[in-house]
């Protein structure tokens, strides 16, 4: 990937100011909504996302396309997504009706973002607490799924660079076994446009693709192999087909 030019850097900087500026202004203006039902905070959050992705389009020339939505089942499901940038973390709140995203504990402490993330009923995981954290995550996920919400996890555990892959973390297998619902793998290529580290936002259209669901009932090993294969093969195919 070529280094970003001066214009791309300038546009990226303007977008970052726009993104965090609107988050702080709107967040503090409506902080009182945290005292009211979750649906109120969800409506404001979606309004903010509209501003964010509108700014991304007009400032940076970047958009995203969703494919394979026919693979999403009705009601509770486990969504296991490739993770390359912050873009998909935000985009899933536009794409899915009412997701519960599994987030690392550090994000819950962020001003404004963390407060609303908790109010929206996302699931926070303390990765340093090992077995205790896994039990809490499974309990929270079952509760959210019982409400008909879709549980979203990034099973690689962190943002990966384009073309880089790693073994999936075991938490996704625990969720799959505990929830007993279909697991929908997701491939994407967002890292080519929205830098996983740093401010660079390149013009272009990222793709988020829901792949064929994995039915419940597989053994742990079979599930992990199937999930990893579908995410990696799907992600490689997106870039190969674009080339």
Q: What is the pLDDT of residue 110?
A: 78
Residue with tokens 């599994």: 102
DSSP tag of 111:
T
| Predicted TM-score of the model (pTM) | 0.92
Which residue ranges of the chain lie beneath pLDDT 50? none
Residue with structure tokens 């998909």? 88
Q: How far apart are CA 18 and CA 36, in angstroms?
A: 27
Can you read off the two tokens belonging to residue 67? 């494919």
Q: Which residues contact 56 (CB under 8 A, 6 or more apart)?
A: 15, 62, 63, 87, 201
Domain ranges of the chain: 64-242
CATH class of the domain comprising 64-242? alpha beta
Q: How far apart are CA 2 and CA 37, in angstroms?
A: 47
Rounded-to-integer distance, Cα 145 and Cα 78, Å: 9
Instruction: For residue 66, give the nearest of 96, 42, 39, 111 by alpha carbon.
Output: 96
Give the pLDDT score at 129. Answer: 60
């Amino acid at each position: 990937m070529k280094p970003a030019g001066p214009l791309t850097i300038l546009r990226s900087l303007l977008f970052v100011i726009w993104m965090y500026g609107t988050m702080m202004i709107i967040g503090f203006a409506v902080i009182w909504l945290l005292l009211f039902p979750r649906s109120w905070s969800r409506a404001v959050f979606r309004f903010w996302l509209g501003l964010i992705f509108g700014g991304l389009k007009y400032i940076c020339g970047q958009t995203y396309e969703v494919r394979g939505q026919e693979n999403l089942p009705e009601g509770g499901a486990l969504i296991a997504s490739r993770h390359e940038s912050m873009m998909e973390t935000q985009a899933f709140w536009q794409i899915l009706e009412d997701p519960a995203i599994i987030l690392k504990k550090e994000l819950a402490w962020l001003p404004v973002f963390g407060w609303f993330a908790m109010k929206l009923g996302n699931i926070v995981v303390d990765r340093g607490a090992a077995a205790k954290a896994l039990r809490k995550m499974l309990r929270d996920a079952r509760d959210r799924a019982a409400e008909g919400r879709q549980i979203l996890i990034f099973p690689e555990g962190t943002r990966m660079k384009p073309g880089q892959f790693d073994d999936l973390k075991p938490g996704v297998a625990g969720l799959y076994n505990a929830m007993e619902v279909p697991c929908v793998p997701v491939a994407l290529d967002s890292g080519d446009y929205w830098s996983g580290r740093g401010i660079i936002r390149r013009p272009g259209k990222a793709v988020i693709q829901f792949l064929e669901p994995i039915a419940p009932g597989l053994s742990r090993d079979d599930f992990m192999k199937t999930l990893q294969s579908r995410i990696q093969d799907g992600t490689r195919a997106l870039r190969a087909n674009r080339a």
